[in-house]
């Protein structure tokens, strides 16, 4: 009789669990696929329901807050962007003209939301303003003046940062004075005033984290450098948050990977789970590599990403739920093969060097797979796109769909963070779900970023307005998207024909990112 009772109880539990899918509220910092669609798709493979606002709300903080208040009570966790809720998105945060009073009132909204949702864990991610090394005329991601003065602004802040941390040479002092004179006062005033408002708002969000109103807060340093204004502000921020443990708040190099990492943390917290992660680096500098667009060693970045994802580093791969292999250059360099117009062309010597490196790294991966370890790859030897030499090796060794996770998109921390966030969840996924996520990454990071985008950009570079077309397709979009789809389909048929039913689009009407939709 007792056995029958427990069997009935178990059956009712399974029935209820199949009907009720836990809900995670998700507000991305924009609607780029890597920011919104792709991390959400990872979580959906675990049968969670993602509750996200209409796309048009992402650029309107007032509408977004109203939607947040309305939907928070029905959700089990919330992963939200402070840039969206304060400024209307990541890009608007870099050029807004919002007053400090309005920003402060939006920060206060977190207190009001917490009062009516006491049990909701709020995982927040935001950014320090980036400091690009140069400006591109027509680039909508920075204030208009950055196209003309961007390079000088970067050099100015680099020297100001160095002045505060070491000592300037006589030549650098002269250069600093010349740079200050070369940039109009009103531009510098606008630039630094905005940054000060953003920094002040970030400190107030850290205060809320101290009070447990915010459960976890990551602050990103996007497109960063060892000396620049972002690094300068981060030094001030680190001093301000030194009393907050890394398990509550972090300042981290990167930004686009944060949604994936915090969604993974939300899932792990809901499951009371702490996955174990081991990290293996390629030969040479490995963990000590300081990649482009970062101001710290990649080994430190990945250790922090593991904490952000709600996981724990373990020194032995055989104890790990996920083993991340990191494809770095032995000398610690980052190659810009797919990130310039026209793309960088390799010499025969460089090709031989990269091919040899890929062969050695792929053998490390193959040995781990043969030991039945749950392996993932962070492919960071090139900025923004897969290492073609490595991918050919993985294909030849039939390893592409024996991995658990892969990342090769954009900056090194974007890549490693997405791979960590995905990889720590794959233990709970079916093989079919893992293969679907791998197919998305291979199509985006390998087929598109490292090949289709690169080759089409090389052709566009021959045109007088080629760079502008890359930044904004304009009337060329239908023709270029058709060209992308043909290229990508042929690529998929060659390397993974089981995943050749998809459509490629460019929702931001530019070449930098694509969206993959399977039929």
How many alpha carbons fall within 13 Å on the CB side of residue 196? 8
Q: How far, in Å, CA of 356 to CA of 360, rounded?
A: 6
In this prediction, residue 6 has a pLDDT band, given cuts at 50, 70 and 90, of very low
Average pLDDT score over residue span 206-223: 95
- pLDDT at residue 13 is higher than 70: no
Same domain, 240 and 343: no
Q: What is the pLDDT of residue 11?
A: 46
Asked which of 250, 272, 294 is the last residue of a domain, the reply is 272
Task: Flag whether 307 is in a domain.
Answer: yes
- pLDDT at residue 56 is higher than 50: yes
Same domain, 237 and 385: no
Same domain, 238 and 303: no
For the stretch 464-517, pLDDT in tens is 988 889 989 999 999 999 999 999 999 999 999 999 999 999 999 999 999 999
Contact between residue 106 and residue 85 where contact means Cβ atoms under 8 Å apart:
yes
Q: What is the pLDDT of residue 337?
A: 80
Task: Flag whether 371 is in a domain.
Answer: yes
What DSSP state is assigned to residue 118?
T
- How far does Cα 246 stand from its chain's mean position? 19
User: In this prediction, what percent of the chain has a pLDDT beyond 90?
Assistant: 86
In this prediction, residue 335 has a pLDDT band, given cuts at 50, 70 and 90, of confident
Same domain, 163 and 282: no
Average pLDDT score over residue span 216-224: 90
Task: Flag whether 288 is in a domain.
Answer: yes
In this prediction, residue 137 has a pLDDT band, given cuts at 50, 70 and 90, of confident
User: Is the alpha carbon torsion for 98, 100, 105, 109 positive or negative?
Assistant: positive
The answer to whether the predicted template modeling score (pTM) of the entire model surpasses 0.85 is yes
Same domain, 437 and 514: yes
3-state secondary structure 38-66: HHHHHHHCCCCEEECCCHHHHHCHHHHHH
Average pLDDT score over residue span 49-67: 98
- pLDDT at residue 7 is higher than 80: no
The least confident of 129-138, 189-198, 275-284 is 129-138
- pLDDT at residue 31 is higher than 90: yes
- pLDDT at residue 241 is higher than 90: yes
What is the extent of the structural domain holding 68?
A: 20-272
- pLDDT at residue 343 is higher than 80: no
Map residue 24 onto helix, strand or coil: strand
Same domain, 261 and 288: no
Question: What values do phi and psi take at 447, rounded to 5?
Answer: -65, -45
Same domain, 266 and 284: no
Same domain, 282 and 164: no
In this prediction, residue 20 has a pLDDT band, given cuts at 50, 70 and 90, of low
Who's near 185: CB < 8 A, 6+ residues apart? none
Asked which of 214, 237, 272 is the last residue of a domain, the reply is 272
Opening angle at CA 269, ends 264 and 275, nearest 5: 65
The least confident of 188-192, 340-344, 347-351 is 340-344
User: In this prediction, what percent of the chain has a pLDDT beyond 70?
Assistant: 96
For the stretch 300-313, pLDDT in tens is 999 999 999 999 99
Q: What is the pLDDT of residue 138?
A: 72
- pLDDT at residue 14 is higher than 60: no
Q: What is the pLDDT of residue 4?
A: 54
- pLDDT at residue 90 is higher than 50: yes
- pLDDT at residue 15 is higher than 90: no
- How far does Cα 150 stand from its chain's mean position? 23
- pLDDT at residue 12 is higher than 50: no
How many alpha carbons fall within 13 Å on the CB side of residue 367? 10
- pLDDT at residue 70 is higher than 70: yes
- pLDDT at residue 53 is higher than 60: yes
Q: What is the pLDDT of residue 344?
A: 76
- pLDDT at residue 1 is higher than 80: no
Question: What values do phi and psi take at 104, rounded to 5?
Answer: -65, -40
Same domain, 24 and 97: yes
Q: What is the pLDDT of residue 294?
A: 87
Who's near 307: CB < 8 A, 6+ residues apart? 246, 247, 250
Residue 414: closest CA among 201, 223, 136, 155: 223
Task: Flag whether 93 is in a domain.
Answer: yes
Q: How many domains does the chain have?
A: 2
Provide the mean pLDDT of the chain. 93
Q: How far, in Å, CA of 438 to CA of 498, rounded?
A: 12
CATH classification at residue 136: 3.40.50
Same domain, 301 and 185: no
Asked which of 239, 272, 305 is the last residue of a domain, the reply is 272
Question: What values do phi and psi take at 217, rounded to 5?
Answer: -135, 125
**Four-point Cα dihedral 245, 246, 250, 251, nearest 10:** 90
Average pLDDT score over residue span 103-119: 97
Q: What is the pLDDT of residue 353?
A: 94
Average pLDDT score over residue span 97-105: 97
Same domain, 288 and 222: no
Task: Flag whether 1 is in a domain.
Answer: no
Q: Residue 256, Cβ neighbours under 10 Å: how many? A: 26
Task: Flag whether 450 is in a domain.
Answer: yes
Q: How far, in Å, CA of 406 to CA of 445, rounded?
A: 9
Task: Flag whether 6 is in a domain.
Answer: no
Same domain, 379 and 457: yes
In this prediction, residue 229 has a pLDDT band, given cuts at 50, 70 and 90, of very high
The least confident of 212-216, 285-289, 343-347 is 343-347
Task: Flag whether 166 is in a domain.
Answer: yes
């Amino acid at each position: 009789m007792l056995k029958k009772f427990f069997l009935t109880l178990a059956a009712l539990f399974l029935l209820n669990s199949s009907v009720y899918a836990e809900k995670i509220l998700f507000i991305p910092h924009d609607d780029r696929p890597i920011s919104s669609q792709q991390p959400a798709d990872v979580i959906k493979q675990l049968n969670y329901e993602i509750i996200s606002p209409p796309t048009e709300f992402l650029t309107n903080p007032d509408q977004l807050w109203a939607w947040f208040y309305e939907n928070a009570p029905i959700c089990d966790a919330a992963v939200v962007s402070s840039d969206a809720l304060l400024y209307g998105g990541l890009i608007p945060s870099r050029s807004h003209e919002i007053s400090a009073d309005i920003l402060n009132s939006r920060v206060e909204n977190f207190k009001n939301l917490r009062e009516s949702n006491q049990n909701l864990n709020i995982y927040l991610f935001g950014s320090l303003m980036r400091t690009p090394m140069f400006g591109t005329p027509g680039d909508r991601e920075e204030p208009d003046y950055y196209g003309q003065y961007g390079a000088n602004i970067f050099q100015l802040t680099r020297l100001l940062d160095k002045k505060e941390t070491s000592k300037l040479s006589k030549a650098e002092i002269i250069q600093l004075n010349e740079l200050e004179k070369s940039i109009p006062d009103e531009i510098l005033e606008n630039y630094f005033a905005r940054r000060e408002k953003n920094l002040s708002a970030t400190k107030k969000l850290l205060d809320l984290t101290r009070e447990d109103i915010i459960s976890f807060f990551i602050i990103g340093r996007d497109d960063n450098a060892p000396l620049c204004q972002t690094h300068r502000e981060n030094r001030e921020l680190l001093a301000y948050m030194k009393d907050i443990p890394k398990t509550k708040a972090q300042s981290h190099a990167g930004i686009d990977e944060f949604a994936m990492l915090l969604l993974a943390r939300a899932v792990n917290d809901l499951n009371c789970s702490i996955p174990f992660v081991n990290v293996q680096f390629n030969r040479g500098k490995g963990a000590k590599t300081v990649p482009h667009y970062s101001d710290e060693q990649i080994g430190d970045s990945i250790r922090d990403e593991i904490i952000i994802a709600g996981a724990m580093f373990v020194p032995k791969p055989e104890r790990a739920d996920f083993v991340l292999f990191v494809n770095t250059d032995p000398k610690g360099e980052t190659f810009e093969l797919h990130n310039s117009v026209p793309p960088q062309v390799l010499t025969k010597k460089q090709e031989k060097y990269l091919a040899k490196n890929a062969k050695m790294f792929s053998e490390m991966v193959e040995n781990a797979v043969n030991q039945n370890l749950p392996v993932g790859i962070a492919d960071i030897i090139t900025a923004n796109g897969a290492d073609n030499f490595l991918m050919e090796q993985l294909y030849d060794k039939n390893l592409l769909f024996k991995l658990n996770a892969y990342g090769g998109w954009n900056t090194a921390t974007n890549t490693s963070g997405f791979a960590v966030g995905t990889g720590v969840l794959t233990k709970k996924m079916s093989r079919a779900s893992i293969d679907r996520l791998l197919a998305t990454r291979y199509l985006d990071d390998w087929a598109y970023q490292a090949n289709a985008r690169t080759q089409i950009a090389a052709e566009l570079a021959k045109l007088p307005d080629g760079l502008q077309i890359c930044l904004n397709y304009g009337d060329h979009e239908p023709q270029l998207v058709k060209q992308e789809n043909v290229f990508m389909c042929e690529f998929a048929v060659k390397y993974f024909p089981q995943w050749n039913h998809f459509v490629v689009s460019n929702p931001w009407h530019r070449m930098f990112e694509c969206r993959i939709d399977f039929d």
